[in-house]
Structure 1
Amino acid sequence: MNLKDWIMLALKKVVTNNSTIYRREVMLMGNKFEISVVGNDPIWAHERIDSAIAEINRVEKLLSTFGEDNAVNTINRNAGVKPVKVGAEIFKLIERSLQISELTYGSFDITYYNNDKALDNEDIATLTYTTINYKDVVLDAKATTVFLKEKGMRISFAANSKGYAADRAKYILQLEGVSHGVINAGGDLLTWGLQPDMEPWTVATADPRQANEPFADLEISNMAIATSVNTGNYAIINDKKLNVARPVNGFAVSQTKSVSIISPTAEFADAMATPVMTIGVNAGIYLINQLNQIGCVIIDDHNRIYPSKGIVIA
């Protein structure tokens, strides 16, 4: 046994003998979050989980449209009127969102048209889509302002806020010394470090409820995995039924059952899951294969599995 193997064996024994996984499940941002940290002190572990919950609540408040002084609400209220100065965090999140829109040719889009009548009726299928899209968002990096060019235009972070909140919670946990853990945000997983036995996290070990998934043994240590599920012409994301076959783009999704995106950040994985579904199996795999450190697993309506390059399904 060489020195490296001896050290790893010693570490494995220490971690196994002294550490366990402390978990807590709580409703946050309208989703069921489960926060897990690896440690050997339950008081310390639950204090860290408290910090993660506080950060997720902060993100929810930041991205909310409630309150007159809320940044997102202020941006929406001034659509077609004037630019709105925002903090760096909101500005960067919008900037990244627009970059994802560009990457996905508009399949991902934080903008929408405020159609109050259709929304009141909760009849998503009858929404009237306009030509308003992400290209109508004007950013001024120097002044840190956001301007929506058209009246009635709105932005929403419904498709990526859950992932962003998970990333922020992980950041806080790592700052406070949590070297190994999992954040389960409504079935979307973000992991870092290793399990107590020094084995990598897999989909099944990060979330035992997914043990029967075709890719349950997929290693996801230090990665995030987010899944969008197709139900007819709709995808379920953030517990909302969203139309992912909009007439404006004409993409059919009936042949795709689910899409799971593997990414270093939960924000990106969360944002990309539904767009990849909208463009279908071949185009989705092609798009993901062009990106560094990004993978996907697509399952079609015949339960056939299509992994991107570098993904091995047992």
Structure 2
Amino acid sequence: MRIGLVLILSLFFGFSGTAQQKRFVTVKRALTLMGSSFEITVVASNEEIGYINIEEAIAEIRRLERLISSWDPMSQTSEINRSAGIKPVIVDYELYALIERAVQISELTSGMFDISVASMDKIWDFDGRMTSFPSPEKISDGVSRVGYKSIVLNKQNHSVYLKEKGMKIGFGGIGKGFAADKVKELLMSKQVPGGMINAGGDITTWGTKSTGEKWLIGVDNPDRDSRFFTWLPLVESSVSISGIYQKYITFRGKKYSHYLDPLSGYPSTGIKKVTVFSKSAELCDALATAVYVMGKERGLALINQLGGIEVIIVDNFNRIDTSSGLLLKTTK
């Protein structure tokens, strides 16, 4: 996810009404959470209340990270991974429900989104240290432990069992969207009238800013000086952006994304950027990953079958395609 390509601006509409209308302020904080850059913006009656709301949001994100992190040895997710091929693990309903939804998205995308692709995390390294591709044998061995159909869920006791030893699950393709939705839900329950959660490029909004302005997202074309070719409003909605930005490897002058095809075990190619819009940040996050892996034709075909979801795809030739329900007004 690339935050630098996402710019939230405002249209100044102002509040209509009388002089008695209540005034609000916008309070914002940027920090690193869940290994990514977060920006939390809330609308409040005064700055003190706004900062209290932001602290509540931060506490919620940290709670969720302790639940879903595969890097924290004390998390329930780590316990599931340690018990792969050995025994089921009973987990909190919140985690169970997330895994259940992830499996449903795997079914929807014919396995192109799969949280068990985390089983490949020791084979590929996208932090710049790799100097050659892993061997085909090593990739094939990793793929043998990938497969959402080997995630066994028991709704009665909320247990999760990974059938294969060495199998792992991880939430890199859905976790930040999940967190954004949960924080939005928390703040709305506390009557926060408006806000925006930017979870490393997974963004969700509600209400308006303190002046009544709408949230807008600027959509750009990679390799075109980061200039925005259109602006789209986010009204009670969410967006997720996937692309080759910070996490990739380069071999013989060609960039390979960190989005792995769960079926082949190799990095996906053909697309530079995917932007998905829907009500749920979690769903946006997962579908952006799936579309990136599926490729342009299959990705567009999938999104066009789903209600209330739209996509913008920029391919390796900088061609821009959109789903059938999205009309773009380009800027000069």
Is residue 2:247 matched to residue 1:244?
Answer: no
TM superposition score normalised by structure 1: 0.84
Give the match for residue 10 of structure 1: 17
Which moved further from structure 2: 242-251 or 275-284?
242-251
**Aligned partner of 1:225 among 213, 220, 239:** 239
Is residue 2:290 matched to residue 1:278?
Answer: no
Equivalences for residues 17-166 of structure 1 within 5 A: 18-66=23-71, 69-112=74-117, 114=119, 118=123, 123=130, 125-126=133-134, 128=139, 129-131=142-144, 132-166=146-180
TM superposition score normalised by structure 2: 0.79
Could you tell me how far apart the structure 2 residues matched to 1:19 and 1:95 are? Answer: 39
**Aligned partner of 1:174 among 164, 185, 188:** 188
Could you tell me how far apart the structure 1 residues matched to 2:229 and 2:286 are? Answer: 22
1:115 Cα offset (Å): 6.3
**8 Å CA contact retained: 1:234, 1:245:** no
CA offsets 1:138-169 (integer angstroms, 9 cap, x no match)? 11101211111111111111111111111111
Q: Given the superposition, is the C-alpha separation of residues 11 and 212 from structure 1 closer, same or farther in structure 2, using an over 3 Å criterion?
A: farther
**8 Å CA contact retained: 1:218, 1:312:** no
- Paired amino acid for 1:242: H
**Aligned partner of 2:307 among 264, 288, 292:** 292
Could you tell me how far apart the structure 2 residues matched to 1:71 and 1:158 are? Answer: 16
- Paired amino acid for 1:130: V
**8 Å CA contact retained: 1:251, 1:279:** no
Report which of the two has the higher share of helix: 1
Could you tell me how far apart the structure 2 residues matched to 1:246 and 1:44 are? Answer: 45
CA offsets 1:73-98 (integer angstroms, 9 cap, x no match)? 11111111111111101110000000
What secondary structure sits across from 2:178 in the alignment? helix
Q: Given the superposition, is the C-alpha separation of residues 11 and 274 from structure 1 closer, same or farther in structure 2, using an over 3 Å criterion?
A: farther
- Paired amino acid for 1:9: S
1:10 Cα offset (Å): 1.2
1:25 Cα offset (Å): 0.6
What secondary structure sits across from 2:284 in the alignment? helix
What secondary structure sits across from 1:37 in the alignment? strand
**8 Å CA contact retained: 1:160, 1:267:** yes
Q: Given the superposition, is the C-alpha separation of residues 32 and 80 from structure 1 closer, same or farther in structure 2, using an over 3 Å criterion?
A: same
CA offsets 1:184-210 (integer angstroms, 9 cap, x no match)? 1123211111233334321149xxxx9
Would you say how many aligned residue pairs link Structure 1 and Structure 2? 295
**8 Å CA contact retained: 1:162, 1:270:** yes
Q: Comparing both chains, which one has the higher relative contact order based on Cα–Cα distances under 8 Å and sequence gaps of 6 or more? A: 2
Could you tell me how far apart the structure 2 residues matched to 1:26 and 1:11 are? Answer: 38
Unaligned runs of 5+ in 2: 1-14, 220-224, 250-255
Could you tell me how far apart the structure 1 residues matched to 2:186 and 2:39 are? Answer: 16
1:114 Cα offset (Å): 4.5
Could you tell me how far apart the structure 1 residues matched to 2:287 and 2:227 are? Answer: 24
